[in-house]
Amino acid sequence: MRTLTISGKIGIPKLREIFNAIVDEIEFEKEYKSAEKSINLLAGSKFMFRTGDYVGVVLLIETNENSQRIEVVSLGGGKGIFNLKYGAGKSIENSILRNIETVANKMSLRFEEE
């Protein structure tokens, strides 16, 4: 799991576009809202040739008035009796966060990884 905190906001449509470009397809999407914040959950999977299996990916976006906290979690995708993952999940997490950081930089938003 990796977490990125952004001072400011990247729109949910742009984050959905980034996520969808990395995973094979968005399989589940849900938004939860309260007066103080909104939470968006995107889930998908990607077939990884290095393991010959699918890796599940979840993007959790917590948006409040001044910032966004984005968590990327990968799961599954292991191979064989020892469930070897060969870094497949971490590779997907890195790709998603790298793309989000690129967009944040273009929008002149400050961000930090926790």
pTM over 0.85: yes
| Cβ contact 4:114 at 8 Å | yes
In angstroms, the CA 41 to CA 39 distance is: 7
Tokens for 88, please give them: 């497949």
Spell out the domain ranges in the chain: 2-83+93-113
Of 79, 58, 76, 59, whose CA–CA distance to 68 is shortest?
59
Question: Does an H or E element contain 31, and which?
Answer: strand 25-33
Residue 74 Rama label (left phi>0; alpha psi -120 to 50; beta): beta
Local confidence pLDDT in tens for the 114 residues of the chain: 889 999 999 999 999 999 999 998 899 999 999 999 999 999 999 887 777 778 889 999 999 999 999 999 988 655 554 555 556 778 888 899 999 999 999 999 999 998
**Would you list the DSSP string of 36-79?**
S-EEEEEEEEEEETTTTEEEEEEEEEEE-SSEEEEEEEEE---B
